[in-house]
Structure formats: C-alpha cells, structure tokens
Amino acid sequence: MHFEAEIITCKSGKKLRIVSIGPDYAEQFLDFMHQVSNDTHFMSRYGNEVGQTEKDILAERERLNGLFEDDRQGMLSIFDGNRIIGNIAIRNVGKGRKTKHRCSIGLAVRKEYHGEGLGTILMEYAIKFAKTAGYQYIELGVLSDNKTAQGLYKKMVFEEWGRLPNAFILDDGSTLDEITMYKAI
Ligand SMILES: CC(C)(COP(=O)(O)OP(=O)(O)OC[C@H]1O[C@@H](n2cnc3c(N)ncnc32)[C@H](O)[C@@H]1OP(=O)(O)O)[C@@H](O)C(=O)NCCC(=O)NCCS
C-alpha cells in the first residue's frame, strides 16, 4: 500500500500524520511493537519476544517492503513527530482466488495516546482502504477480556462469529479465549 501522508486531528486537538510505512520504518515499527506488546497481554507476543537486533530489523525491513509493494495489503501508521504511536495492519486471508474477498486487520495504539480517537481513525482508514482494494469482508480476533477493543469493534459495526477457547496461555498459566469478528463492507 502506497498511501500519501495525511494530517489527522486527535480528540485533544493535536495534529498528527498518518501514512503507509515501508522498509525504512522497520526500526521505529519494532520499537512501537515492543512497547505495545509490553504494556498489555492483548498482543500476540510478549514485549521481550519482539526482537530489535540488526537481524530482526533486516527481517522486518523485508516484511514491511512486501506489504508496502502490495496494493492489497499494508501498514498504516500514525506518527507524532518521528515516532510511530499507532498502527493498523491490513493483510489478505490466504493467497488464492477463493479467499480474495477477505482481509484481516490488527491494530494498536501506544498507551499514552489511548482515548484520543486514534483507534477509531485507524479503523476508518483501514475500512476505506479495504473497500478500495476490493475486499468484501474484514476479519479480526480479539481476546475475551479486551473490553476496550471489543467496544471499538462494536462501534465500527463488527459482528461476533466465533470463539476459540484457550487461544492464549499466559506465562502465569491463565488462559484466554479469542473472539472472532467480521464486518461486511
Ligand atoms: C484498542 C485500542 C487500539 C483503542 O485505541 P484508542 O486510540 O484508545 O481508541 P479510541 O480512542 O478511538 O476509542 C475507541 C472506542 O473504544 C471503546 N472503548 C473505549 N474504552 C472502552 C471501555 N472501557 N469499554 C468498552 N469500550 C471502550 C469506545 O467505543 C471508544 O469509542 P468512543 O470514544 O467514540 O466511545 C487501544 O486500546 C490499544 O492499542 N490497546 C492495546 C492493544 C490492543 O488491545 N489492540 C487490539 C488487539 S485486538
């Protein structure tokens, strides 16, 4: 996805920049993922599983390049200055013709920016992109105890279609179900 930068305004009135990120942002993106994965258990990895070595940065560059050069997939990031503070990933489901109408999304916002409307803005941009790219359904998974994200998805008119028991087993041994949701667009 190549998306020209646009200026958005968060609830407190601050102006921020939203843009599609490519390989040059690998280091900043890993720093972002490290923080958001440290701050909650809602992400798929723990913070200390988000590597930031030279090797990890090179691998991330390649991954981001693939998404950047793909006109049906991409990463949209919100920047405060040079820092990524929110991101939404839009990826296809499978590679073949049978599932080419489906995409999945995943998003996060750094905790010091929560409640500023950025999650909503990222969702709105992703829905618009998914429509333009010709998808008919957007899918996502959310942990059963992630009430904020569920509130956001319900507000964006996503519907629940399933629940995977014990999708996550945390280090303390507790288990969490994943709720799966979709939106027809
Ligand atoms: C989920 C997340 C992206 C929301 O980001 P945000 O920028 O704070 O979102 P917004 O300010 O746009 O708020 C979105 C909506 O969440 C809902 N919401 C917020 N707090 C809520 C709560 N305590 N209970 C239920 N719904 C809530 C509301 O619908 C709110 O919209 P409103 O302000 O118009 O009422 C953010 O909390 C986050 O990054 N969490 C950690 C990572 C994560 O959970 N990612 C999602 C994995 S599925």
pLDDT value at residue 172: 97
Tell me the mean pLDDT in the region 73-77: 97
Which of 129, 128, 120, 184 lies closest to 153, judged by CA?
120
134 ligand 1 Cβ < 6 A? no
On whether the CB atoms of residues 52 and 33 are closer than 8 A, the answer is no
Give residue 98's Cα distance to chain centre. 24
**pLDDT tens by residue, 20-64:** 999 999 999 999 999 999 999 999 999 999 999 999 999 999 999
Distance 182 CA to ligand 1 centre (A): 17
45 ligand 1 Cβ < 6 A? no
DSSP state of 36: H
Distance 108 CA to ligand 1 centre (A): 9
142 ligand 1 Cβ < 6 A? yes
Domains of the chain: 6-184 (3.40.630.30)
Angle at 169 between CA 87 and CA 143, to 5 degrees: 45
Report how far residue 171's alpha carbon sits from residue 67's, in angstroms, rounded to the nearest whole number.
Answer: 31
Strand partners, 142: 179
Tell me the mean pLDDT in the region 82-101: 96
146 ligand 1 Cβ < 6 A? yes
Could you tell me the pLDDT band of residue 83, with boundaries at 50, 70 and 90? very high
Q: What average pLDDT is seen over the chain?
A: 97
Q: Which two tokens stand for residue 181?
A: 């949701």
Residue 95, pLDDT above cutoff 90: no
pLDDT value at residue 35: 98
Give the number of other CB atoms < 10 A from CB of residue 134.
Answer: 11
Q: Which of 152, 160, 163, 183, when mutated, tests ligand 1's pocket best, judged by the most ligand atoms within 8 Å of its CB?
A: 152
Tell me the mean pLDDT in the region 72-87: 97
For the chain, the distance separating the N- and C-terminal CA atoms, rounded to the nearest angstrom, is 19
**pLDDT tens by residue, 144-177:** 999 999 999 999 999 999 999 999 999 999 999 9
